Amino acid sequence: MVSIAGSKKLKRQMAPQFWGITRKDKRFVITTKPGPHKKNYAIPTAVFLRDTLKIVTSLREAKASIYAGKVKIDGVVRKSLHHAIGLMDVVELENVSDVYRLVPTEGKILKPIKINESEKSKKLVRVVTKTSINKGIMQTGFHDGRSTLVEVKAKIGDTCVMQIPDQKILDVIKLEAGCQGLVTRGLNAGQIGKIESVEEGTFILPKRVILTLGDRKIEIPADVIMPIGKEEPVIQLK
């Protein structure tokens, strides 16, 4: 039987702070396996239940819940302790009324917020790749590892409103001046501001966005900005 790539454990001292784990406990902690999100921007399912939500008290209880199929991520049952839960993912738990969405907030890359039942079928996904494949068909790739061959009139950096779990594209939010932008990483993670302009990249500088946050303006790389709506977010983010 072929083993899956990647280590199953991580030293606690090396784990991202937004996981919410204790540092002076056992030496190792479960980590994420290769999957939809990058390792440094995701939380393993078992850690999410035990340390982030604190809905179980031990890894043994987390295993029992996950293996029993009681955890849904984006409408799909996930039975792996190491599945990576990341930006904009929607988490449902069997016999728990609350539904959670992971968003950046208060300077943290990821934090679960409770959302309304009507919101759980919608998700924002940022376009990260556009690839021409066989016979001129264009494949669009998103930040959470998904891709689609359905024609999407969106450029890299734009955001699509996706219906989950069937991956139907409901709307496209352009990365352009005048719309609202969410900072997904860095010191300003979780802040929402108005996009004033989008500066094209050069040989030296990456593509940048001029963003107004309250009474100040900042220049920030375009790859850490997610457009979320014209006047206000199209889905619940707080």
pLDDT attached to residue 108 = 87
State the DSSP code for 188. T
Closest CA to 158 of 124, 208, 120: 124
Residues 6+ apart with CB under 8 A from 118: none
Give the pLDDT confidence score for residue 201 in this predicted structure: 87
- Sequence-separated (6 or more) residues with CB below 8 Å from residue 152: 127, 138, 140, 160, 169, 172
Report cis status (omega within 30 of 0) of the bond before 233. Answer: no
Which residue ranges does the chain devote to CATH 2.40.50.740? Answer: 122-173
Q: What angle do CA 10, 16, 18 make, to 5 degrees?
A: 135
Q: What is the distance between the alpha carbons of residues 238 and 235, in angstroms, rounded to a whole number?
A: 9
Longest dimension (CA), the chain: 58
* Predicted pLDDT at 189: 93
Tell me if 114 sits within 8 A of 100, measured CB to CB. Answer: yes
The CATH architecture to which 9-117 belongs is: Roll (3.10)
Topology of the domain covering 122-173: OB fold (Dihydrolipoamide Acetyltransferase, E2P) (2.40.50)
* Residues in the chain, overall count: 238
Could you give the C-alpha distances from 207 to 38, 41, 229, in angstroms and in order? 21, 21, 20
Q: Model-level pTM?
A: 0.91
d(CA 94, CA 37): 24
**CA-to-CA distance for 181 and 193, rounded, in angstroms?**
5
What pLDDT is attached to residue 138?
92
* Tens of pLDDT, residue by residue, the chain (238 residues): 455 556 788 888 888 888 888 877 888 999 998 889 998 999 999 999 999 999 999 999 999 999 999 999 999 999 999 999 999 999 999 999 999 999 999 888 999 999 999 999 999 999 999 999 888 889 999 999 999 999 999 999 999 999 999 999 999 999 999 999 999 998 899 999 999 999 998 888 999 999 999 899 999 999 999 999 998 999 999 8
pLDDT reported for residue 2: 52
As a whole number of Å, the end-to-end CA separation of the chain is: 44
Residue 143 gets the label, from left (phi > 0), alpha (psi -120 to 50) or beta, of alpha
Is 169 within 8 Å of 207 (Cβ atoms)?
Answer: no
**What CA–CA distance (Å, rounded) separates 41 from 15?**
11
CATH number of 180-229: 2.30.30
What residue ranges of the chain are covered by domains with CATH 2.30.30? 180-229
| Distances from the Cα of 175 to the Cα of 144, 181, 210, angstroms | 18, 8, 11
pLDDT of residue 6: 65
